[in-house]
Amino acid sequence: MSVESEVSLDGTKLTIAVKGRFDFGSHQTFREAYERFYKVPNTYVVDLKETTYLDSSALGMLLLLRDHAGDDADIRVINSNSDVRKILGISNFDKLFDIS
């Protein structure tokens, strides 16, 4: 499991890539990926291209990101495989996040 983050040059977009299992073991690293920036980005992209597993604690971490970003932030969850997308759909996260 690893979490990598990259901010755009203008500081408005933060991309967080989760690789491997997205579970409670990722909690601290995932939080640090978005809390360490002084300027709060307008857009957050959570890239799950290399995510193999997602559990309820990962769903909670996405909600914490949403709370941190604020109601006006644009949060996108991209590149999820069919299993991960199914979990997000069953949990109605498609109503809270832009999932593609």
The string of pLDDT tens digits covering residues 23-51 is 999 999 999 999 987 778 999 999 999 99
Per-residue pLDDT tens for 72-92? 889 999 999 999 999 999 999
Kindly report the pTM of this predicted structure. Answer: 0.93
Domains of the chain by residue range: 2-99
Which percentage of the chain shows pLDDT scores above 70? Answer: 100
Sign for the pseudo-dihedral over CA of 22, 28, 30, 31: positive
Range 2-99: architecture per CATH: 2-Layer Sandwich (3.30)
Question: Strand 43-47 relative to strand 13-22: parallel, antiparallel, unpaired?
Answer: parallel
Torsion angles phi and psi, residue 37, rounded to 5 = -95, 130
> With contact defined as beta carbons under 8 Å apart, do 17 and 3 qualify?
yes
pLDDT score recorded for residue 60: 97
Tens-place pLDDT, residues 14-25:
999 999 999 999
